[in-house]
Chains A and B, each alone.
Chain A
């Protein structure tokens, strides 16, 4: 009985948390799409600064990681394909698994580590030092001023980063393809483009857009609900990372399932 109550309670809490994420996303959406027509302009300057931070500065580390992931994929695929004498399928294996799944996912994980955590830390610190209260007393809405630019930056930059990540993954795979699977670089790229359909790339980009919204919502929500005291900022940051990773995987599952059943018909 006790157990049932506890389970029920935690289910309710989780639903309430998801609700708060949805509300925050909807409010950011309002400030992006509707409010500009009511005389409240979008802070593009702040969005661009954020986009630099979450997007451009992320490229070096993301490139390195996805390059290695591409290489690992090629090695793992070749291990199995070699048994069937089908090692020349390594290019399409890398291309499809990168663009449909690993490109968006690895990008999201890197961005969670870099930006999701820093959103929570930044907003959480502002909460602790009364800066959020100060914004409110100046009649500046924190969601409009702080959160919305982050949503815009992430919603735009995550798909862009994912395209870049896909390219770097293919490049990583080509190292194996050229040295061990008898491809030339050109033939490897040709094999890749032959294997890919537009829907593979687009489905990955739709997922990465959803990942961007998820990461921003969790990071900002954790920051906004930080309790009093510096140690609470640390707690918010940690839970922003853990919850983001969990929810990104969940969103990934939902959308992969949707694409699977849509594509099957």
Chain B
């Protein structure tokens, strides 16, 4: 089950993107994104609203199909994979959604146990034990019988992480883990991600626009802007980067007002052109 051409330099990357392009209808969101994610590293994908970072994440978990390019995960190319192979691959991946996406009609316990019940032949008592273990790992012991609607925002996120962990994934994805949480609860979620990293050496991919949390958890970070990779590097490298876009993002400088009439004209015509395509 390995790809025919393995890069000889080091251990194969957990995820490898090659010139990835994704479109919704006529509109191209990602214009050729390439980078590798190493085994066991925490990569933070940074970017503003509409930068394409969420689309990138959705593509990585197979919710969107690329229009061209390659995504290699565990020797499979997500661009050409069959539905059945994708389902097999997904048992090695866990995703924690922005709003939690817990099933409202099921208790927290049933939510976390769902992947186990669907994909394993474990007996109920075993599932019960694994369920308690997962809930304990995210600090939600004793909340099995609560419904998602009875939990606070932070607890919902933790429950969602427990569900993502249920199948002991090798790669864990987070969509905006601290969005909509107060700073203390958000710090708790950051702490949780760091603990998971230490405990399981999982490959973790986090999409966020929260700078403080990004610098806390990242081994490496990648800045996406308008569907392209602007910069990729360790938090140190990013901090010292002279790249104007990186500086603008990290120093929180607002988008400059359009001053030059020619630029303005160009912007208008470019956009027109983009829409016609």
Contact = CB atoms under 8 A, between A and B. Distances in A.
A130 B114 contact: no
Interface residues of B, number: 25
B97 A134 contact: yes
Interface string B66-100: 00000000000000000000111011011101110
Contacts of B104: 125, 129, 131
Nearest to A136: B63
A131 B104 CA distance: 9
B161 interface: no
B101 A130 contact: yes
Contacts of B103: 126, 131, 134
A76 B67 CA distance: 63
A133 B100 CA distance: 11
A137 B93 CA distance: 8
Nearest to B160: A134
Nearest to A132: B101
A125 B105 CA distance: 12
Interface in B27-75: 58, 61-63
Nearest to A43: B118
Nearest to A144: B118
A137 B119 contact: no
Interface string A135-176: 011111000000000000000000000000000000000000
Contact of A130 (B62, B88, B97): B97
B115 interface: yes
A138 B97 contact: no
Contacts, number: 50
B148 to A, nearest CB: 10
Contacts of B58: 133
Contact of B63 (A125, A133, A139, A140): A133
A140 B97 contact: no
A129 B114 contact: no
B170 to A, nearest CB: 14
Given A138-B115, A138-B118, A140-B118, A129 B99 contact: yes
Given A137-B63, A139-B119, A131 B101 contact: yes
Nearest to B84: A139
A136 B163 CA distance: 13
Nearest to B90: A139
B60 to A, nearest CB: 10
Contact of A137 (B61, B98, B118): B61
A70 to B, nearest CB: 36
Interface in B117-174: 118-119, 163, 167
Interface string A22-40: 0000000000000000000
B23 to A, nearest CB: 18
A138 B97 CA distance: 12
Nearest to B118: A140
Given A137-B63, A138-B90, A139-B90, A129 B119 contact: no
Nearest to B88: A139
Nearest to B98: A130
Interface of B: 58, 61-63, 86-88, 90-91, 93-95, 97-99, 101-104, 114-115, 118-119, 163, 167
11 contacts: A129-B104, A130-B99, A131-B102, A133-B58, A134-B163, A138-B90, A138-B167, A139-B87, A139-B88, A139-B90, A139-B119
Given A125-B104, A137-B93, 10 more contacts: A131-B102, A134-B95, A134-B97, A136-B90, A137-B61, A138-B90, A138-B163, A138-B167, A139-B90, A139-B118
